[in-house]
Every structure is written in C-alpha cells, then in structure tokens.
Amino acid sequence: MSPTFDSLETQPWSDITALHESLLQRQLDYVVDRSEFYQRRLGKQRSQITSLADLGALPFTTKEDLRESLIAHPPLGFHLAVDEAEVVQIQSSSGTTGMPTYVAASTEDLAVWNSMGARVFYANGFRPGDWVMHGYAMGKGFVGGLVNVQHLQHLGCCVIPLGAEAGTERLLRAIDHLKPVALCATPSMVAYLGAAAPDVLGKQASELSVRKISVGGEPGGGVPAIRESMESLWGADVRDMMGGADFGSTYWAECDEKDGMHLCSQGALHVELIDPDSLEPLPLEEGVTGELVYTALARRATPLVRYRMGDIVTVSGTGCACGRSAYKIKTHGRADDMLIVRGVNVFPAAVKDIVVHFTPDATGYLKIDVDFEGHSTSQPLKIRVEMASSSTRTADELAVAIERMLSDRLTVRSVVSIVPEGRIERPGAAKEKLLERTTNT
Ligand SMILES: [Zn+2]
C-alpha cells in the first residue's frame, strides 16, 4: 500500500513551494476581487506581492478581526467571498472568549478540507476499509465532529459517529460489540475511556479491538509520557494530529516515526512561522520555535490571508524516514493559554506532562488555579493534582515530588495540593480545561 494518501506528500519541497507560488497569486487576485474585507485591507498592496517572499508585507488577520467582521456584516461577515447560495456547510469555531466564529465552506472548500484530512488520518495509520469509532464531540458545529467524519469517509474508512456525547458506557459497549480497529478522540477522552473499560465491560481496554488511535483537539498526544500511558492502556499505536476550525479541521499529523507532526496542507494552506513578540518571520529550520501563520491558497467561501491562530510550535525535523517531504512540528499549545510564572513561559500541557509522569500514584487529572489577572504572575503556580485511591505514597510525598519535577524540568515554582480521586471534574464530551480561573479577566 502507498506510504502516503497523496503523491504531493512525497514530492520535493521545492516543487511544493513552486506550487504555492502560483496558487498564492491566483488566491490574492480572488480575495481582492471577491472579499470586501480583503478589498479594503489588501487592495492597495496587492500589486506589490509578486512572490511568497513578499507575504510578510501584508497585515495579519486575527480572530478579533473575524469577530468584528461577523458582527458588522451578519451572518457570515465581510470576509465572505462567495454568494450565500454557494455555501453548503457552516461550522463553528469554539472561541474561548466571546461569541463563536462561524466558518463557511463551499463544495470546493469541502473537497480541499477532505484532501487535507484524509492525508492526516492516513499519516496517523488509518487505511481504507478500517472501522473507526469517532469519539470527538459531534455537537455545537465543532469541526472535530462532522468534518472529521467527512475526512474519514473520503479516506475510505467506515465511520461509527457515536461522538463524545454518547457517553463512556455507550462508546465502550459499541467498541466491544462492533470491534473497530481504530479510534479518534481527544487524548483526555482516550485516557478516560480506557480507564473506565474494566468497570463498564469487565475487561481492560487493551483486550478490546482498537489498535490505532488518532488524537487531537487538545495538546498532549505528541508528549511522550501522555502517549505512552494511552498506548499501554489500550495496547494500541497512538498518534497526534492538529489543525483548527478556520481552515477545515486537521492539517498536521504524525507518521510512523511519531516524532512531530508533518504539514499535510500542500496546495491548500501556506504556512509561515513568526516570532510572536516581534512578529518577524522565522526560518522553518529544525529547533526553531514560533507561532504559525496561515494563508489559504485554495479557499472560496471564507478565505483568510496571514491568519494568526495562535499555535506556538517548534520545528522538529525537515526530513523523515517515512518519505514525506514536509517539515514536522511539535506543538506547545495556543498562545492564549500560555502562562508566565515569574518570567518563565509555561504551557498547561507541559504541566500535564509532568503530572502524568506520576501515574499510577496520580490519576493524571489536574487543575491549575489561576487567581491572577491575565497571564502573568509573580507567585508560585497553584496546582491541584488528583491522587489515585490505590496509591501507596502519602499526599505530601507526591506533592513534593511533583513540585520538584516542575522546578527541574520547567524551571517553574509551584504549590501542589493533592486531592482525592474523583474530585476533579472529568472532561467527558468537552475539551479538557487545565486552567480554572477564579478572577475575571
Ligand atoms: Zn514522517
């Protein structure tokens, strides 16, 4: 069987760049012609952009810009670039603050989304004919729901779209009955389902049929300790993927090497890396950390140019044994979620990674209590960690050990308080929220 879903994925990167050069020119003509939002923003500068290297001269587009556009010109904003009659699907982006953003797609857009999504699930190890239990939230227009179902069908899989809302018991009973070989869900859902299997079914998750798991929707799948705990729980291969609602669902994926996520958006999205503080471009070279900036190259309904989604990533490689030519990244999370503790940048997912190291004494569930305004504090970070009822350690021992590892690995000072098993709310159908704010910001 082919090593990739699409032959574009193994073409020399210079060919992909050349493709993107020509698509960019066509797309910029399109947005200036069809999108009132970009007519105003880029109309005067359009003629000066003759190559990808000139893109940096154009302004960024932000989530706030899109919200304002949606409010000023309902229902789909000034950035809509097709007639409303050509829109065939509207998804919702779950903004962490304020109103959700609505994202429109035409028939052509869905085809582009599906090509990216099928590459992603194929890289994650899914193959035509595989039966896949779909455990992402199906409701609220979340792209991990219906859009991932469409991707899996485009790849040729049989999808079982029970969704996270079905609940643990129903999902586990369906897996036991239908025996799907694959599962896709958030890492916290995968961990939760796996832990519940003995109670619900009287057997371990590793005794079930699932051997391939694709995780996304929240950071964690690419973190070694979190991956290993899911793999041993299920006796399955676990791979990470990532994307975002503004451009479909998913367009980064880990391959067999499981050492970072390949870009899977050839011909659809051009991606830049910038310094999130200076906003200057950064080279796409191994070891460089920055924020991703996306420009749609083949988008009809709601095209975006230089869009800042807020993902902070590190380039983890530019060549791969799998044959894919695209570079790979590891994600740290969204810039919005980052905390600054006494001047040190801390991503909640990195704290979770440390806590997961302490399983089975810890259950892996935690909350970071944010009792300060904004993102920055001069106090030690307050973290509640759940202790497993089967642990033989004392609460004090566990707290001190976690505080020490947070200090050693992340150079973060913390105060860990231990709570009994079951005290921290399980994410269920929702994304896991590691931060709990006790102030209004
Ligand atoms: Zn690879």
pLDDT digits (tens, 9 = 90+) for 36-73: 999 999 989 999 999 999 999 999 999 889 999 999 99
Residue type, 225: A
Task: Please tell me the distance between residue 189's alpha carbon and the centre of ligand 1 in angstroms.
Answer: 26
Could you tell me if residue 279 is inside a domain?
no
Could you tell me if residue 427 is inside a domain?
yes
Task: Please tell me the distance between residue 125's alpha carbon and the centre of ligand 1 in angstroms.
Answer: 11
Q: State whether residue 60 is helix, strand or coil.
A: coil
By CB atoms closer than 10 A (0-12, 13-18, 19+), residue 246 is buried
Could you tell me if residue 367 is inside a domain?
yes
Could you tell me if residue 291 is inside a domain?
no
CB atoms within 10 A of CB 177: 8
Task: Please tell me the distance between residue 425's alpha carbon and the centre of ligand 1 in angstroms.
Answer: 36
Backbone φ and ψ for 437, nearest 5 degrees, come out as: -90, 130
Whether residue 360 sits in one domain with residue 229: no
Q: pLDDT tens digits, residue range 242-298?
A: 999 999 999 999 999 999 999 999 999 999 999 988 999 999 999 999 999 999 999
Q: pLDDT tens digits, residue range 205-254?
A: 999 999 999 999 888 888 888 899 899 999 999 999 999 999 999 999 99
Could you tell me if residue 184 is inside a domain?
yes
Q: Are 24 and 297 in contact (CB under 8 A)?
A: yes
Residue type, 257: E
Q: Of 266, 226, 176, give the one whose Cα is nearest residue 359.
A: 226
What percentage of the chain reaches a pLDDT higher than 70?
A: 98
Which pLDDT score is estimated for 378? Answer: 86
Whether residue 249 sits in one domain with residue 387: no
Which pLDDT score is estimated for 180? Answer: 98
CA distance 269 to 117: 13
Between 224-234 and 187-201, two packed helices, what is the crossing angle to 10 degrees? 30
Task: Please tell me the distance between residue 126's alpha carbon and the centre of ligand 1 in angstroms.
Answer: 15
Which pLDDT score is estimated for 264? Answer: 98
Task: Please tell me the distance between residue 317's alpha carbon and the centre of ligand 1 in angstroms.
Answer: 9
For residue 441, is pLDDT > 50?
Answer: no
Top-confidence residue, 8 or 439: 8
Task: Please tell me the distance between residue 190's alpha carbon and the centre of ligand 1 in angstroms.
Answer: 23
**What CATH number did the domain enclosing 359 receive?**
3.30.300.30
CA distance 207 to 283: 46
Task: Please tell me the distance between residue 417's alpha carbon and the centre of ligand 1 in angstroms.
Answer: 40
Task: Please tell me the distance between residue 327's alpha carbon and the centre of ligand 1 in angstroms.
Answer: 9
Task: Please tell me the distance between residue 259's alpha carbon and the centre of ligand 1 in angstroms.
Answer: 8
Report the DSSP beta bridge partners of residue 387.
362, 420
CA distance 270 to 18: 11
Whether residue 239 sits in one domain with residue 359: no
Whether residue 263 sits in one domain with residue 372: no
The parent domain of residue 404 ranges over 339-437
Could you tell me if residue 162 is inside a domain?
yes
Bridge-based pairing state of the strands 182-185 and 212-215? parallel
Task: Please tell me the distance between residue 239's alpha carbon and the centre of ligand 1 in angstroms.
Answer: 12
CA distance 82 to 98: 26
Whether residue 356 sits in one domain with residue 217: no
Task: Please tell me the distance between residue 253's alpha carbon and the centre of ligand 1 in angstroms.
Answer: 9
Q: In the numeric block, which tokens belong to residue 362?
A: 């810890």
Task: Please tell me the distance between residue 428's alpha carbon and the centre of ligand 1 in angstroms.
Answer: 31
Q: State whether residue 368 is helix, strand or coil.
A: strand
Number of structural domains, the chain?
2
For 373-421, strand residue ranges (E) read: 376-377, 381-387, 414-420
Q: Of 371, 406, 395, 356, give the one whose Cα is nearest residue 222.
A: 356
Bridge-based pairing state of the strands 435-437 and 362-370? parallel
**What CATH number did the domain enclosing 256 receive?**
3.40.50.12780
Identify the H or E element spanning 31: helix 13-34
Task: Please tell me the distance between residue 129's alpha carbon and the centre of ligand 1 in angstroms.
Answer: 22
Which pLDDT score is estimated for 78? Answer: 96
Task: Please tell me the distance between residue 255's alpha carbon and the centre of ligand 1 in angstroms.
Answer: 5
For residue 439, is pLDDT > 70?
Answer: no
Handedness of CA 344, 345, 350, 355 (dihedral sign): positive
Task: Please tell me the distance between residue 276's alpha carbon and the centre of ligand 1 in angstroms.
Answer: 27
Task: Please tell me the distance between residue 116's alpha carbon and the centre of ligand 1 in angstroms.
Answer: 16
Task: Please tell me the distance between residue 256's alpha carbon and the centre of ligand 1 in angstroms.
Answer: 6
Between 348-356 and 395-410, two packed helices, what is the crossing angle to 10 degrees? 130
Task: Please tell me the distance between residue 219's alpha carbon and the centre of ligand 1 in angstroms.
Answer: 19
CA distance 90 to 244: 14
Task: Please tell me the distance between residue 266's alpha carbon and the centre of ligand 1 in angstroms.
Answer: 15
Summary mean pLDDT of the chain: 93
Q: State whether residue 274 is helix, strand or coil.
A: strand
First to last CA, the chain: 52
Could you tell me if residue 182 is inside a domain?
yes
Handedness of CA 214, 218, 219, 224 (dihedral sign): negative
Task: Please tell me the distance between residue 222's alpha carbon and the centre of ligand 1 in angstroms.
Answer: 14
Task: Please tell me the distance between residue 293's alpha carbon and the centre of ligand 1 in angstroms.
Answer: 22
Report the DSSP beta bridge partners of residue 132.
159, 182
CA distance 328 to 211: 24
Q: Are 311 and 337 in contact (CB under 8 A)?
A: no
Whether residue 137 sits in one domain with residue 2: yes
Q: Which of 257-271, 302-316, 323-337 has the lowest mean pLDDT?
A: 323-337
Task: Please tell me the distance between residue 258's alpha carbon and the centre of ligand 1 in angstroms.
Answer: 8
CA distance 298 to 113: 10
Whether residue 134 sits in one domain with residue 19: yes
Backbone φ and ψ for 208, nearest 5 degrees, come out as: -85, 180
Task: Please tell me the distance between residue 203's alpha carbon and the centre of ligand 1 in angstroms.
Answer: 34
For residue 337, is pLDDT > 70?
Answer: yes
Q: Where are the alpha helices (DSSP H) in 202-257?
A: 224-234
For residue 329, is pLDDT > 60?
Answer: yes
Top-confidence residue, 437 or 315: 315
Q: pLDDT tens digits, residue range 343-385?
A: 788 888 889 989 988 989 999 899 999 998 888 888 999 999 9
Could you tell me if residue 246 is inside a domain?
yes
Q: Are 416 and 404 in contact (CB under 8 A)?
A: no
Q: pLDDT tens digits, residue range 113-138?
A: 999 999 999 999 999 999 999 999 99
Which pLDDT score is estimated for 219? Answer: 80
Whether residue 356 sits in one domain with residue 258: no
Whether residue 263 sits in one domain with residue 343: no
CA distance 401 to 416: 9
Whether residue 360 sits in one domain with residue 233: no
Which pLDDT score is estimated for 96? Answer: 53
Task: Please tell me the distance between residue 211's alpha carbon and the centre of ligand 1 in angstroms.
Answer: 20
DSSP 161-210: ---GGG-HHHHHHHHHHH--SEEEE-HHHHHHHHHHHHHHHSS-GGGSS-
Task: Please tell me the distance between residue 394's alpha carbon and the centre of ligand 1 in angstroms.
Answer: 43
Task: Please tell me the distance between residue 155's alpha carbon and the centre of ligand 1 in angstroms.
Answer: 19
Whether residue 343 sits in one domain with residue 264: no
Whether residue 244 sits in one domain with residue 126: yes
Task: Please tell me the distance between residue 181's alpha carbon and the centre of ligand 1 in angstroms.
Answer: 22
Top-confidence residue, 351 or 334: 351
Task: Please tell me the distance between residue 322's alpha carbon and the centre of ligand 1 in angstroms.
Answer: 4
For residue 433, is pLDDT > 90?
Answer: no
